[in-house]
Chains A and B, each alone.
Chain A
Amino acid sequence: MARFEFPEWTEKFKKWVLLLGAGGPVYLLALWAYGLTPEAIREGYQPKQPVPYSHALHVGELGLDCRYCHTTIDKSPHAAVPPAAFCMNCHAKIRADSAKLQPVRDAFATGAPLKWTRVHDLPDYVFFNHSAHVTRGVGCESCHGRIDHMEEVFQYAPLTMGWCLDCHRDPAPNLRPPSEVTTMGYDPPGDRREIGNKVRKENDINPPTNCSTCHR
């Protein structure tokens, strides 16, 4: 039997094969590296919202407390977004005819909900509970960053499992007295770890690291 020879037309693929052999690993490496970038894990994700609501204005300048609008953070797993009626409490009087507020007025008048885009979106198999953290003294800014500086909200923390576990394994640096949870730019005199340890002791805080704590 004659020796098999590749037909001539395959010649032109030779360099592609070489390229694939050399480039493939490089590509995979790049892909892996990219997977770890903040962009891929959504850090910094800042979608456009239907209403240009400014946390910088309301929280930063006017000094509203987080709980003024997100009323459920210490009672519910969800930090519920306020209903349109809530906005209208003030905006029926203040800037009552601003064009930017038209969607809010529409929602209030028709009952059709405003369609906010979720910024902090955990996977469906993760069960996070706001109340469990807020009542224990985990500050809002620990996970959400300086909301009072954000014109439009973006994802501040990576929200990866490793990031969650870092704190669950060593919560002290992120704990503050429960009365201070909504404080932005919390900077107490003294060592944060010491304060955290004191809070931890007072409130019997033992963050579990079981799988079923978040996955069930």
Chain B
Amino acid sequence: MSSLDNKTYWRSLADLIDQPGHEEARAYLDQRIPDHAELFGDPFSRRRFMQLMGASIAFAGAAGLAGCRYERDHIEPEDRRPEGYIPGVPKYYATAMEVGGAAYGLLVTAYDGRPIKVDGNPDHPATGKGSNAFMQASVLELYDPDRSRTVERRSGPSAKKHLPGTWKDFEGAARELSKTLAESGGRGFRVLSEASTSPTLAGLKREILAKYPQARWHEWEPLSRDSEREGLRVAFGRPLRVHLHLDKAQVVAAFDADLFGDHPDALRHSRDFAAGRDPDGNRAGMSRLYAVESTYSQTGGVADHRLPLRSELVKPFLMALEQQIQGAGASAPSSVALGEKKVADFLAVLAKDLAASKGNAVVAVGYRQPPEVHALAARINALVGGADAIGYTDDPEPNRPPHWVDLHELVSAMKSGGVDTLLVLGGNPVYDAPSGLDFAGALAKVKESFHLSSYADETSALCTWHLPRAHHLESWGDARTWDGTYTIAQPIIEPIFGARSAIEVVKHLVGRGDTPAADLVKETFGALATGDGGGDLAWRKAVHEGYAKAELAPFRGTPGQFAVTPLTPTQQLGTGASKEKAIANGQLEVTFIPSSAYDGRFANNAWLQEVPDFFTKVTWDNAALVSPKTAKALGIAHEEIIEVSIGDRKAELVAYVMPGQAAFSIALPIGQGRTRAGHVGGLVEDGVDPVGFDVGPVRAAAALLVPGAARVRGTGKHYRLSATTDHNAIDKLGVDTVQKRIPELIKEATLEGYRHDPKFVVAGAHTPDIATLTDPTTAAPANLSLFKEHRYDGHKWGMTTDLSKCTGCNACVVACQSENNVPVVGKEQVWRNREMHWLRIDRYFQGDPEDPHIVSQPVLCQQCENAPCEQVCPVEATLHSDEGLNDMVYNRCVGTRYCLNNCPYRVRHFNFLRWDWYKEMDSPRAKVRQLLFNPEVTVRSRGVMEKCTWCVQRIQNVKIKAKNEHRPIRDGEITTACQQACPTDAITFGDLNDESSQVAGRQRLPRAYALLAELNTRPRHVFLARITNPHPDLAPAPAEAKAHE
């Protein structure tokens, strides 16, 4: 496959089938392009479909008999209106949410008391205005009817059924427990908490341990970052946190580290990185990013150079890198032959580049890597890293053992009968604890167990008490972002289901049951935020702003001596490419990566389940990622059910042949296959099959990297994935045409190439501007256009998307869904091309399928000047506005779908069904979902076309606000939902009639180009070509040649 022409872009392996040398891939075609003959024969899962949440419900006007005169609607004013509250005007509150031991500062939009949208808090020093998909989707969870509503209890561990209880019951039990604990000194009492950075909860923990000295507090997180902390303990003698400042780095090397994806500080990383990637800016040059990783990450996607390498080889790679850097960039002999020449070349260039930018370089290692690799990286950073680009602080909780030790200790105590009472605060250990520990078995030996959780999940089912946990938008709390910023969370809404937070549960054990959580948080604030005086005014300010000054102590030091363990047999085999050093089945590497449900906690979130994974474009599933060559060697096919076994532990799941996956490394996404997640993620007892596959059974230990032990066996069974990759391809001819055209859709160049030829985007393109063409004989305007020119006296909205900055994080996709009431359609319907996302991110591969390069391109409505959709609508349901938007009028649409068929960008979406078709959606239990809708946007029904409107509701509201205040609209005052969500500021929106606006400036850049400009649609949205900054010594980026075509 490596013979592939370097200029060819492709969307998936199916695209490559008729390239010479790709005959073996031909078999994919039938699987990958949905066969519409199957459409009617296949019984789709009605059950799941009926219970899908997040779909639309007719908002008001549910009068039953449409067409009856005088539909009665009521106005019910509150008895007393709170001061400063204006009905119908949204309010914005700062708060916080915590995921996996790091907080994010949020800005929540609340409409008449109900939160409807979550964004990053723009004033927050760590989070900034950007957000990620989890933050965006968290508001859906708030209104999830599956969230548990009552305290449940069983009489004992052997009793079968849970009975509904009340919080009073729990308070009684807590009082009794406190009494017993006071007598026994806490013997036999353990707490298992998910990773928490809440200083208030930490204070309560200290109180518990002081009051009941024999009690123990444990912490467990399935996707733990503790190996970094332990690695730094090895290097520096104390647990530390590493902080990267990518805007100050010239060369960044990421080893298995997804700096822009699953890192808790990813938003700041993205923002900082984008700041250093402005080819048009005043900065002397762009930073350069290298990624070495086993599975494609967002970081690998934006990297200038990426090397697919098994995760276990990062250690020998770093050892060799260190040697080469110390050899002052000369060709010092590397300690290990990693195998291929490609790897050695990459290593040499990286070493040279790092050494050359001493003081401005950063080496980052991902949390999957064992501690000693982190220690190695710290040593390299001491050699090349600058104090500006990389910093260390103390860990906020330096005294706790690492998660895997902590959980192991707890389970041993449980098994030996040493635990009488267990309080589980959040988390879902029965599902996500390593299978080797048999947490469920150990739990059966605990007399009394409490589980605080948003859902009555797998763990709740086995505990004697289930306590409903309040959503982060319902509770007072505090937390620290990854960089240590002390962040305060305030409730935006009263707990809808009467649930309580961890603080509100634990306080009952230390006799502080009567103190409201708000007071406890305020108390902590008084003790922590001493710099602000800690008074009432300072507190109010901190709540208002969402954060306060209380930073972690910085640490400066040099790594000490430590020994590195010898290489394992599979590490010595290198990449396993050569015949004599081949890797056999049974010696494969397995890595555990987060799925769209993260570690499983978001499994019941339909927005996250339906967002296509950036690399695989798979929705509603998790698949084992295998490289094309490995798949061939193992004899497994794409979408085949495979059995992965490590020792005697086995898991079955579907295989996805993933270009760019390192050979002989298999990535298994955790967090799916939940049996008690809910009606979206799977609820077996109610007949709802789990989404995806549970890979937990093969995860015997906590380590996220299992080298050299896995075996894969194909079962021959085919499984259908709903991936959006090849959607809209019609047949062979269509695939070919699309492929031919891809270079016109995405344009990229190297920095050098761009400087040499700034107008490269128009080179070779045949896009005469028909509007300005003149007749060669008379020099008069040729008037070739059939369209009437529009005039724009007022505003003229425009947008740009910078492909250099897009990391493909999917935040914009979910933000759009949240802002615009976009329905969820479910796996079956996605398979039928009926996904409704107004904004999609196209992802293209280029080059060798074993080591391709990725370009991402967010595509939304291009708001064409000569819009093909407008020309064909028979009922004028889509029209050009005098501000340049292609307005879509839902109430006029009769659903002919002509517009969709005539749209070259495929950004229109048709409501094939009313996504709330079935009765269950209107059940009283599910009514709570209606609170989620953005009241500014019509909820569309069946038979109606819809599309991106550039958030016209936001445009209108800002216009009205500005006019009410008798002033012009400021540049940047209107932000679209996707723009607001973007952590890298890749999207700009504004008025093109204003010459000085940012968007007009960006549209004037030489690298600006319109999508399919040759069709004379004249899109109002333009892309900025992607500019990369490859090292001259490595093979020039393939795009350069293309740029001069």
Contacts and interface: CB of A to CB of B under 8 A. Distances in A.
A117 B72 contact: yes
A204 B891 CA distance: 30
A157 to B, nearest CB: 16
Contact of A85 (B79, B937, B966): B79
A213 interface: yes
A127 B934 CA distance: 13
B884 to A, nearest CB: 10
A107 B888 CA distance: 42
A121 B71 contact: yes
Given A72-B86, A125-B891, A212-B887, A85 B81 contact: yes
Interface string B63-84: 0000001111111111111000
A142 B559 CA distance: 78
A121 B963 contact: no
Given A72-B87, A210-B881, A125 B890 contact: yes
Given A125-B890, A212-B952, A76 B76 contact: no
A204 B73 CA distance: 36
B79 A127 contact: no
Given A76-B88, A116-B77, A125-B891, A208 B882 contact: yes
Contacts of A212: 881, 885, 887, 889, 949, 952, 956
Contacts of B76: 113-116
B86 A117 contact: no
Contacts of B75: 81, 115-118
B280 interface: no
B61 interface: yes
A215 B889 contact: yes
B733 interface: no
A40 B71 CA distance: 12
Interface string B846-883: 00000000000000000000000000000000010111
A83 interface: yes
Interface string B409-441: 000000000000000000000000000000000
B891 A216 contact: no
Nearest to B886: A212
A75 interface: yes
Contacts of B69: 39-40, 42
Contact of B87 (A78, A208, A211): A78
B883 A76 contact: no
Interface stretch (A3-11, A91-99, A128-136, A187-195): A128-136
Interface in A97-124: 107-108, 110-118, 121, 123-124
B88 A77 contact: yes
A34 to B, nearest CB: 11
A22 B655 CA distance: 69
Contacts of B78: 83, 113
Contacts of B60: 124
A108 B889 CA distance: 42
Interface string B345-373: 00000000000000000000000000000
Nearest to B89: A76
A132 B937 CA distance: 18
A212 B14 CA distance: 41
Interface SS of chain A: loop
A47 interface: yes
Contacts of B960: 129, 131-132
A82 interface: yes
Contacts of A110: 79
Interface string A154-189: 000000000000000000000000000000000000
B715 interface: no
Given A124-B59, A216-B936, A117 B74 contact: yes
Contacts of B937: 216
Contact of B88 (A72, A82, A118): A72
Contact of B938 (A42, A84, A118, A215): A215
A136 B881 contact: no
Given A75-B89, A124-B59, A135-B964, A80 B956 contact: no
Nearest to B876: A211
Contacts of A136: 963
B70 A45 contact: yes
A135 B953 CA distance: 19
A88 B956 CA distance: 36
A169 to B, nearest CB: 13
Contacts of B560: none
Contacts of B72: 47, 117-118
A168 to B, nearest CB: 12
A213 to B, nearest CB: 7
Contacts of B81: 80, 82-83, 85-86
Residue of B77, B953, B963 contacting most chain A CB atoms (<10 Å)? B77
B398 interface: no
B794 interface: yes
12 contacts: A40-B69, A72-B89, A82-B77, A82-B81, A107-B79, A108-B79, A108-B80, A121-B71, A132-B963, A210-B883, A212-B887, A215-B890
Closest 6 CB pairs of A and B: A210-B881, A113-B76, A78-B88, A211-B887, A118-B73, A85-B80
Interface of B: 58-61, 69-81, 86-89, 794, 879, 881-883, 885, 887-892, 936-938, 949, 952-953, 956, 960, 963-964, 966
Given A115-B76, A129-B960, 13 more contacts: A76-B86, A83-B81, A85-B80, A112-B79, A117-B73, A124-B58, A127-B936, A206-B794, A208-B882, A210-B879, A211-B892, A215-B889, A216-B938
Interface of A: 39-40, 42, 45, 47, 72, 74-78, 80-86, 107-108, 110-118, 121, 123-125, 127, 129, 131-132, 135-136, 203-204, 206, 208, 210-213, 215-216
